[in-house]
A and B are shown apart, each in its own frame.
Chain A
Amino acid sequence: MDVKENTASEQVFPGEVHDLPGGGVVLSKLDDIINWARSNSIWPLTFATSCCGIEMMAVASSKYDFSRFGFEVARATPRQADVIIIAGTIVNKMAPVLKRLYDQMADPKYVIAMGACAISGGPFFYNTYSVVKGADHVIPVDVYIAGCPPRPEALLHALITLQGKIKSGLTRDQIRQAQPDTER
């Protein structure tokens, strides 16, 4: 795999630095700086519904440590969280809770669907009366990670992919506001 391709989204700083005598000038777009700042501090919600949650906790702990990339600390309230990692099966009774948590998060907010259950209902539980066949039936998802459960490295990759997505431009809601009449 080409290493450069994977790190392409990690631009150092969005703008030009002009060195002048006695100091310097930075030229950039405010939107880009906001997105750059925002992407480097995304606090996840403490939310896990099954075994992927154990893997998510491993990624939070010292061995993998997603704080290194700006996913500083998991918050136990949606009002302080920026990203919700759907780590596990969503059942029909959990779906309204998930929706409420998402609604309570402040904008801008992001969603990662972690593992087979969150993507499609799962490798084991999909053929039942009780399981939602993919969390994107309930809330919109930004990044999907395959796996059952995904490796910790895969979750880190998804988090970095999300950062790249944030840096690359507008959020879903900003696109909607910019084009209010287009089909949603």
Chain B
Amino acid sequence: MLNEELKIRITEMLASASFDEAGEWLNISITPADWADFAHRLRDTAGLEFNFLFCVTCVDWKTHLGMVYHLTSTIHRHNIVVKAKLDRENPEIETVSNIWRTAEFHEREVYDLFGVKFIDHPDLRRLFLTDDWKGWPLRKDYEDPVNMIKL
């Protein structure tokens, strides 16, 4: 399905979504509250069937955190990018690990490095860093006076 068609289908599904077509893939911005229900429908709607979440990441924009989900359909071979802005002080969003199992580890990684809390995640622990680690190292304001110098 082409980006134009995807845009029409997704607007029907979630009227509040906004779009950015600057890149190769259709970028869809949504509010975090819509995410869990929207994600279910992205996977299960006939014709869309986004059955593979191939990348989950987070960006620290200093004013807020931005979650970025890359989805593809192995049936229809189309891709979309879903973005959601999170509050920097209390970043929370629904987990999608019940929809795409791969998100379980991806979300743990984002939690580990950015401190995003995934609501209803089955096992939200640190992934790469030690369990007693303090802070979120990929945030822009992370400080480590022992290993890092201020530039």
Q: Is B137 an interface residue (CB 8 A)?
A: yes
Q: Is B63 an interface residue (CB 8 A)?
A: no
Cα-based distance from A131 to B144 in the complex (angstroms): 12
The residue among A127, A128, A129, A131 with the most chain B CB atoms within 10 A of its own CB is A129
Q: Is B46 an interface residue (CB 8 A)?
A: no
Contacts of B128 in A (CB 8 A): 93
Contacts of B142 in A (CB 8 A): 129
Q: Using an 8 Å CB-CB cutoff, how does the interface string of A89-118 with B read, 1 for contact, 0 for none?
A: 000010000000000000000000000000
Selected A-B contacts with CB under 8 Å, 10 pairs: A127-B149, A127-B151, A128-B147, A128-B148, A129-B137, A129-B142, A129-B144, A130-B147, A131-B147, A133-B147
Chain A: minimal CB distance from B67 (Å): 22
Chain B: minimal CB distance from A91 (Å): 10
Residues of chain B whose beta carbon lies under 8 Å from any beta carbon of chain A: 128, 137, 142, 144, 147-149, 151
In residues 104-154 of chain A, which contact B (Cβ within 8 Å)?
127-131, 133
The residue of chain B having its C-beta at the shortest distance from the C-beta of A131 within the complex is B147
Cross-chain contact A127 with B137 (CB below 8 angstroms)? no
Cα-based distance from A129 to B145 in the complex (angstroms): 9
Contacts of A93 in B (CB 8 A): 128
Contacts of B147 in A (CB 8 A): 128-131, 133
Contacts of A133 in B (CB 8 A): 147
Cα-based distance from A133 to B149 in the complex (angstroms): 12
Cα-based distance from A130 to B128 in the complex (angstroms): 11
Question: Top 9 nearest A-B pairs by Cβ distance?
Answer: A129-B144, A129-B137, A129-B147, A127-B148, A127-B149, A129-B148, A128-B148, A128-B147, A127-B151
Cα-based distance from A119 to B35 in the complex (angstroms): 47
Cα-based distance from A131 to B147 in the complex (angstroms): 8
Cα-based distance from A129 to B128 in the complex (angstroms): 13
Cα-based distance from A133 to B144 in the complex (angstroms): 14
Chain A: minimal CB distance from B68 (Å): 22
Contacts of A127 in B (CB 8 A): 148-149, 151
Chain B: minimal CB distance from A131 (Å): 7
The residue of chain A having its C-beta at the shortest distance from the C-beta of B128 within the complex is A93
